[in-house]
């Protein structure tokens, strides 16, 4: 069933009704491109202000969208004739953390001490896991700002998406944990506390006392922001399970990618997130395969070498189609709606090709 | 030889025809051992081998320390993964250790973790430990990075950027790049031209167009990669084709890739 714009009705409904679409999936299946294509389609056909937030520094995608580069700052994407507007932004971990500290620091002195702390600098710029929480902060900001009607989030590949989704909860648990209390307890009471002594003996031996005191200083400062950060983390967490927040798992028809996608589907369900659909990407155009075997047989009866070769091509198409349809049957067993995106051949070079790609997505 | 999957998503197990893999290496074929990384197990092993701290006897303090390690000092989590593998290299338990690393973004953080940690922790056991790991990782006679990439836009761009980011983060050797899943050239330009010219072929010419477009897009990306890495010829592994089988099992793919790698090696002899 198609809409007035020639779009699949199910896809149109998803794009019309969601306030946030979180796109997850294994690496290398075209997740970022799919997120961008959905953004272009939504902004083109609906009078909505759309934001696509991506965690990948995809330069080529920026070029396709007519942008110099996607930065932490939101950039408007020119879409001629669109009913709505499209904005793109990439999440830069360091800048986002700095923004968060600026927002929550109780006073200027604490802010400057945190921002200048060596441990803070290393944690926020060099270690990937520090990324997780700020991603959720950024998408919460985007929803809260009131500047956008739909936010489409391109998450990091595979399981990293889950650590992002779990980050608000972990942040709350972290502040409530005995660990942070131990770390930030004054040195004097640490020495006196018999209960925590084994912890410090081991921690000191592994990490060294100097590092421990760096950590202690940092977390003591960090704790001054506990109340606002925990309150916010709680709101971020509830946004992730809000009924208007939809999850879309992108996969290819390749077995290992599918295993990973299947795992993500399971995990999202376990977290009670609203899984809207699975999108099978880079599927061969169906119409090529219809009748391919019959055409191959006809060509094989010829002695002409060109026709013989074309018969091989038809057999190849039939075999790809066969493998794909088995793969798609398996995906359907997961019980979510299955959307298909066909591989058009040719690169994504501009917003027009993203629009064509997005418009052709249909339900199987 | 030891092969280790870093992000434990079970793909390595599937390709080796195993239900699962754990931290303890298992021999999957003669002389080939496989494991999946788990940082908590790595910490347990580390403590058992190096720190003879009595309180470790009970499980609770260990769990608490792990909590500390994982949450308060993320660098330590990375170092536990890298450290385990460096340890296997240092002890010469295997001739070769092959690491199926995490996605490229994570990989840079992981492989440069000893350097990063050395700037944070100046004394203590971890500080002593990062030195020898860095030495092993920085020695081109010991460690090298091999990029494997599919001939598609985004992975290719990411791989080109990976080398730059890696060289900025740590002085590790970069061996080169292999293109995986290169689609076969089933239809060449003369066959395509003949198909286009023959109106009676109908859909067959579109099939030919599609296969040629797919191959050409892949060749363009392989060429781009070769140019970026200044390689005249880039090694490619042909895409495994599911001939006559509805769904190809991962083990069949493994056999296919082994065959392709043997071909590449023969061509170099």
Query: Would you give per-residue pLDDT tens digits along chain A (364 residues)?
Result: 666 677 899 999 999 999 999 999 988 788 888 999 999 999 999 999 999 988 765 666 676 676 666 666 788 999 988 999 999 888 877 788 888 889 889 999 989 988 888 778 777 765 555 677 888 888 898 889 999 999 999 888 777 788 888 888 888 887 777 666 766 766 545 554 555 556 666 666 666 666 667 777 777 888 888 888 889 889 999 999 999 999 999 999 988 789 889 999 999 999 999 999 999 998 999 889 989 999 999 999 999 999 999 999 999 999 889 889 999 999 999 999 999 999 876 667 788 889 999 999 999 9
**CA pair distance A341, B53, nearest whole angstrom:** 57
Residue among B72, B127, B208 minimizing CB distance to A183: B72
At B205, list the tokens. 């010419």
Determine the Cα–Cα distance for residues B130 and A118; give it in Å rounded to an integer: 18
Domains of chain B: 1-143 (3.40.50.300)
> What pLDDT, on the 0 to 100 scale, is given for residue A179?
66
Give residue for tokens 């946004």: A239
Angle at A245 between CA A243 and CA A246, to 5 degrees: 100
Find the closest chain A residue to B219 by CA distance: A346
CA A319 to chain centre: 32
- Total CB pairs under 8 A between chain A and B: 214
What is the value of ipTM here, to two decimals? 0.74
Contact criterion met (CB below 8 Å) for B169 and B138: no
Chain segment B184-222, per-residue pLDDT in tens:
888 988 899 999 998 888 899 999 999 998 899 899 999
Predicted local confidence at residue B235, as pLDDT? 84
Q: Decide if B154 and A129 are in contact by the 8 Å CB cutoff.
A: no
Q: What is the pLDDT of residue A250?
A: 96
Q: pLDDT tens-digit profile of B103-125? A: 776 788 888 888 877 777 666 66
Q: Taking Cα atoms as reference points, which of A319, A364, A361 lies closest to residue A38?
A: A361
Among left, alpha and beta (phi > 0; psi -120 to 50; other), residue B236 is beta
Q: Do A205 and B51 touch (CB under 8 A)?
A: yes
CA B157 distance to own-chain centroid: 17
Helix axes B203-228, B189-197, angle to 10 degrees: 150
User: Under an 8 A CB cutoff, do B9 and A159 touch?
Assistant: yes
State how far the Cα of A255 lies from the Cα of A261, in Å rounded to an integer.
Answer: 10
User: Nearest Cα to B159, choosing from B140, B171, B176, B143?
Assistant: B176
Is there a contact between A202 and B51 if contact means CB atoms under 8 Å apart?
A: yes
* Residue of B14, B125, B158 lying closest to A205 (CB–CB): B125
Chain B residues within an 8 Å CB radius of A125: none
Left, alpha or beta for B244 (phi > 0: left; psi -120 to 50: alpha)? Answer: left
What is the band of B55 on the pLDDT scale with cuts at 50, 70, 90?
A: very low
At the fourth CATH level, the homologous superfamily of domain A9-363 is: P-loop containing nucleotide triphosphate hydrolases (3.40.50.300)
Mean of the per-residue pLDDT values for chain B?
83
Contact assignment for A317 to B195 by CB distance below 8 Å: no
User: What pLDDT score does A59 carry?
Assistant: 61
């Amino acid at each position: 069933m198609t809409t007035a714009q020639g779009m699949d009705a199910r896809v149109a409904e998803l794009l019309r009704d969601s306030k946030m679409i979180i796109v997850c999936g294994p690496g290398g299946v075209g997740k970022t491109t799919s997120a961008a294509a959905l953004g272009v389609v939504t902004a083109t056909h609906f009078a909505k202000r759309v934001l696509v937030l991506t965690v990948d520094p995809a330069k080529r995608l920026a070029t396709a969208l007519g942008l110099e580069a996607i930065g932490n700052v939101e950039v408007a994407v020119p879409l001629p004739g669109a009913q709505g507007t499209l904005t793109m932004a990439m999440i830069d971990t360091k800048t986002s953390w700095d923004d968060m500290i600026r927002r929550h620091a109780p006073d200027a002195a604490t802010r400057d001490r945190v921002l200048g702390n060596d441990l803070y600098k290393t944690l926020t710029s060099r270690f990937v896991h520090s990324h997780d929480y700020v991603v959720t902060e950024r998408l919460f900001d985007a929803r809260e700002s009131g500047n956008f009607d739909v936010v489409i989030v391109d998450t990091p590949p595979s399981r990293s998406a889950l650590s992002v989704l779990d980050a608000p909860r972990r942040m709350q648990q972290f502040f409530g944990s005995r660990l942070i209390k131990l770390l930030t307890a004054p040195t004097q009471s640490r020495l006196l506390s018999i209960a925590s002594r084994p912890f410090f003996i081991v921690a000191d031996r592994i990490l060294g006392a100097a590092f421990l005191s760096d950590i202690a200083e940092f977390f003591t400062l960090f704790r001054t922001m506990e109340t606002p950060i925990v309150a916010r983390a709680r709101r971020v967490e509830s946004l992730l399970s809000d009924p208007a927040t939809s999850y879309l798992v992108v996969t290819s028809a390749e077995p290992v990618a599918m295993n990973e996608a299947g795992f993500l589907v399971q995990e999202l369900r376990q977290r009670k997130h609203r899984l809207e659909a699975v999108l099978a990407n880079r599927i061969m155009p169906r119409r090529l395969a219809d009748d391919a075997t019959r055409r191959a047989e006809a060509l094989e009866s010829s002695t002409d070498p060109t026709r013989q070769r074309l018969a091989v091509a038809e057999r190849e198409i039939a075999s790809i189609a066969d493998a794909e349809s088995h793969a798609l049957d398996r995906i359907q067993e997961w019980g979510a709606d299955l959307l298909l995106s066909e591989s058009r051949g040719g690169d994504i070079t501009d917003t027009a090709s993203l629009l064509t790609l997005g418009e052709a997505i249909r339900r199987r | 030889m030891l092969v280790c999957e870093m992000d434990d998503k079970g793909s390595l197990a599937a390709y080796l025809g195993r239900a699962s893999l754990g931290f303890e290496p298992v021999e999957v074929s003669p002389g080939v051992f496989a494991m999946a990384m788990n940082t908590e197990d790595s910490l347990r092993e580390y403590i058992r081998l190096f720190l003879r701290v009595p309180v470790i006897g009970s499980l609770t303090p260990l769990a608490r320390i792990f909590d500390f390690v994982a949450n308060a000092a993320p660098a330590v989590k990375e170092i536990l993964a890298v450290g385990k593998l460096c340890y296997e290299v240092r002890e010469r338990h295997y001739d070769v250790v092959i690491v199926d690393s995490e996605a490229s973004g994570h990989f840079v953080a992981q492989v440069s973790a000893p350097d990063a940690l050395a700037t944070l922790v100046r004394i203590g056991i971890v500080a002593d430990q990062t030195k020898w790991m860095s030495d092993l990782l920085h020695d081109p006679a010991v460690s090298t990075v091999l990029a494997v990439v599919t001939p598609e836009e985004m992975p290719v761009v990411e791989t080109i950027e990976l080398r730059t980011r890696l060289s900025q983060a740590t002085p590790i050797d970069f061996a080169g790049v292999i293109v995986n899943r290169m689609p076969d050239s089933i239809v060449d330009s003369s066959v395509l031209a003949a198909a286009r010219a023959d109106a009676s072929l109908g859909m067959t010419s579109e099939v030919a167009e599609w296969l040629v477009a797919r191959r050409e897009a892949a060749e363009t990306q392989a060429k781009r990669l070769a140019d970026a890495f200044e390689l005249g010829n880039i090694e490619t592994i042909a895409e495994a084709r599911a001939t006559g089988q509805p769904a190809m099992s991962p083990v069949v793919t493994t056999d296919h890739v082994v065959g392709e790698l043997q071909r590449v090696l023969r061509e170099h002899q």
